[in-house]
Structure 1
């Protein structure tokens, strides 16, 4: 098997080295496996700002997670790389009530940062301020009653990547379930759910299968006490992990914060609190540069959605997603004139299949960022070809290895890559490369796209 992989990799390199981008792309789009697909590619030389290659540059296509580039670049542009999300604490010494004001910070107890940072800081503030906390009052956002994007698919919402952004986020808004499986065809046994949430009911219709990987779907809605998991898992596995979104984020938070603070009473209301320097404190998230790095490298939908909320609050764009996204597009229509046509945004992370962009806009956005003071932060956040993130297993052993930094995107029927190329002639190219509506396997599309990537580096 390794022999054939090595042979295939060498073949890509040899063939691509003899091809221009035009030739490589023509061979790519004319491949029979892409007969019914839509392909689009736009490449710009960052130094000269001249077009290197274009095909379907103004066509509206679905970007999947490459849309996170718009979100993270916008956050860096409008908030600054040193921006920190601020959570306010106000203590009422008469009622011995601590008022907590969540602020769409995705990092509380997140596995992608120092997991105990929020809890440790909260305890330290209470101790240093000598606050005798008897009860906690959490001021939540009215949108938390129904936080899910209306244009996300029902089959996505219950899975870990469909976790809804809320003003109060805890442990990445996800849970881990564990299954035992035996022979293919038999029912899988749910062993446990971690963390365990009081009154949450999990119903399963999961079978063992000869197939590899997690082929389950979880169905749930925010603030629901019921989760349904169905599908297939590999046979003969013990404690096989399946991550799902947490529909009861606030419930889990209150469970765990009660134990942490040793209190029994927690309320959720927007009762007024009187603020003074002595009774007010703040907890800060990691800097935006770190959040952008995590968002792009690990393709974190929750982080991306919370970054959009931060932008909206700072720019005073309101609370409704549609309004916020429209304001964001209006901003870039001024910054990148005439390039924001054909755009239709439904979220900040790219999960909705209804999102529409053009490769021209995405490439021009990358060109803009290339000349901005936050470029090094953005570049550092992007996976590196054949080395890290979702690009780790692409173009290995070719000249493209280590020479392409790009955000990737994949949802059903979509493969997308947008980023920067360092050519063998020391040029820096910005590009966006998107394929929609293919009917072959995602891995086949990825292999076909590799030939084009190698040809880019050869320029």
Structure 2
């Protein structure tokens, strides 16, 4: 499928001719509040940007550093969502094929059971009834029973060909990539590539912490704990680190003392293996034996069951509401695959930047290396985010996009937070009925994140 970006150009031009750098009338208190914000000691060594547009006309009513590229953190998901809606479509569904090779005779499949993915980030997710692991496994077993299969001579094969095997984008840091929010996107994802770890800590500060169990039970992964008990009430300060080039991980940091079943979540580096093993267990329970013999046969895939994901607008809802980084990385790779036949982050990013160029946004305003905003290498301007948000208002999928935005400070805003960066982007309707499109980012602030966020909200309050 080739994406014709030029067909969107007339609408892009119409939207962006109203979104210029000229600053029009603004709420009277906003300039004074911005001046006070700039002078705050927490921002002495910081760079911040804010752009506000009249949502109805696109005219810019406030612009501070709007053309300066800053770390957007998860507000980058705004751009990724807009791109996915435009290039994939709100009704797009991923398809995962469960099938077989070989022949069936006398209740024996003389061949392999094959799973062919398409990058679906929701396969095995607990967020939707139709994607829950038990439901999918039950459907596969029912399909085997309908075909009279009680024994599989070959193996369970996960087909990941044609997909970039570098699950984690360049620029992600080691502290992130083994924890649940750092799960990379693969051709076959399972349970959002996440697992839970249950921990037991000693009763005093410095006591050892042991691993009690994981859910689901892990296959092919070895975990060890270097955790210690921290101060009472210290919360979750535990991080999983996978040892490069291995399937072993160590957990470091602290959790509170006296915990019997404290849970943290990690990112599974081998989701196809996890799915294969869970399916193998389910087949055993259903008395369907997998012999795991080498079989010689035609490798053509015969379909048993095609699983379809929820539609894209449903996926984007959770992507934005819960800021699921995995979904964003899957969308970027899918855009690359559909447009160029290359399911890689770099291909998807290239297409998104080209798309934005057609919108009238300079590619230099969008220096991105992923689709989720997790990389500290990302840079984007506040103006570019506002322009993207303004375009969304004119699109036929706008209601779905708007619904996906969380509420912060009484406003429909996507938040963003990584070390040293806080950001918000979205919409607000003031008490007088005026509607605004907003982007605000602060990088390299000092002191408490909660305090700087409170001050950002006080600035945004001028639009109420």
- What is the deviation of 1:199? 4.7
Provide the residue aligned with 1:25 in structure 2. 34
- Distance of aligned partners of 1:238 and 1:312 in 2 relative to their CA distance in 1, 3 Å threshold: same
1:82-231 to 2 correspondences below 5 Å: 82-94=91-103, 95-114=110-129, 115=132, 116-130=134-148, 134=152, 135-141=155-161, 145-181=165-201, 182-210=203-231, 212-220=234-242, 224-231=246-253
Q: CA deviation at 1:249?
A: 2.1
Q: Which moved more, 1:337-346 or 1:368-377?
A: 337-346
Aligned to 1:147, the other structure's residue is in SS state coil
Distance 1:120 1:196 in 2: 18
Residue among 55, 58, 62 paired with 1:53: 62
> Match of 1:341, SS?
helix
Alignment-derived partner of residue 448 in structure 1? 455
Task: Choose which of 314, 334, 346 in structure 2 pairs with 1:310.
Answer: 334
Q: Is the 8 A contact 1:369 1:375 kept in 2?
A: yes
Tell me, in whole angstroms, the C-alpha distance in 2 between the residues paired with 1:219 and 1:107: 24
Distance 1:355 1:297, change over 3 A: same
TM superposition shift of 1:195: 2.1
The 8 Å contact of residues 98 and 133 in structure 1, kept in 2 or not, is answered as: no
Deviations 1:148-206 (A, max 9, x none): 22211011111111111111111111221112222112222222222222453212111
Residues 233-312 of structure 1 mapped to structure 2, 5 A cutoff: 233-262=255-284, 263-265=289-291, 273-274=299-300, 279=303, 281-312=305-336
Give the C-alpha shift of residue 218 in structure 1.
Answer: 1.1
Residues 268 and 198 (structure 1), Cα distance of their counterparts in 2 relative to 1, 3 Å cut: farther
Name the structure 2 match of 1:63: 72
Give the deviation of 1:124 after TM superposition: 3.9
For residues 297 and 408 of structure 1, what CA distance do their matches in structure 2 show?
9
Distance in 2 separating the partners of 1:254 and 1:265: 14
Contact 2:54/2:436 (<8 A) preserved: yes
Counterparts of 2:294 and 2:216 in 1: how far apart (Å)? 22
State the partner residue of 1:328.
Answer: 352
Report if the CA contact (8 A) 1:343-1:358 is conserved.
Answer: yes
Post-superposition offset of 1:27: 1.4
Q: Report the Cα offset of residue 77 of structure 1.
A: 1.0
Aligned pairs for 1:334-345 within 5 A: 334=358, 336-345=359-368
Q: Which runs of 5+ in 2 are unaligned?
A: 1-26, 104-109
**Please, what TM-score do these two structures have when normalized by structure 1?**
0.86
Cα pair 1:197 1:251 within 8 Å, conserved: no
Residue 407 (str. 1) matches residue 414 (str. 2): yes
**Aligned equivalents of 2:226, 2:419: Cα separation in 1:** 23
- Per-residue deviation at 1:341? 2.8
The question of whether the paired residues in 1 share the 8 Å contact of 2:337 and 2:344 is answered with: no
Contact kept, 8 Å, 2:340 with 2:347, in 1: the verdict is no
Preserved contact between residue 122 and residue 283 of structure 1 (Cα < 8 Å): no
What is aligned with 1:14?
none
CA-to-aligned-CA distance 1:221-240 (integer Å, 9 cap, x gap)? 68732101111111222211
Structure 1 residue 381 and structure 2 residue 404: aligned?
Answer: yes
| Residue 295 of structure 1, CA deviation | 0.3
Counterpart of 1:432 in 2: which secondary structure? strand
Secondary structure at the aligned position of 1:36 is classed as coil
Deviations 1:272-305 (A, max 9, x none): 63357xx464210011111000100000011111
Change in 2 beyond 3 A, CA 1:89/1:440 = same
- Structure 1 residues 174, 223: CA separation in 2 closer, same or farther (over 3 Å shift)? farther
Contact 1:423–1:456 (CA under 8 A) maintained in structure 2: yes
Say yes or no: does 1:319 pair with 2:340.
Answer: no
- Structure-2 change in CA distance of 1:26 and 1:267 (3 Å): farther
Matched-pair contact (CA < 8 Å) for 2:333–2:344: no
| Structure 1 residues 247-278: Cα deviation after superposition (integer angstroms, max 9, x where no partner) | 33233212110122334256999x963357xx
How far does residue 332 in structure 1 lie from its aligned partner after superposition? Answer: 1.4
In the superposition, the TM-score normalised over structure 2's length comes to 0.85
Cα separation, 2, equivalents of 1:195 and 1:89: 21
Q: Is the 8 A contact 1:180 1:240 kept in 2?
A: yes
How many aligned positions are there?
420
Displacement of 1:339 in angstroms is 4.3
- 8 Å CA contact 2:157, 2:276 repeated in 1: no
- Larger mean CA deviation between 292-301 and 309-318 belongs to 309-318
RMSD over aligned Cα atoms: 2.4
Give the C-alpha shift of residue 145 in structure 1.
Answer: 4.5
Conserved 8 A contact 2:162-2:343? no
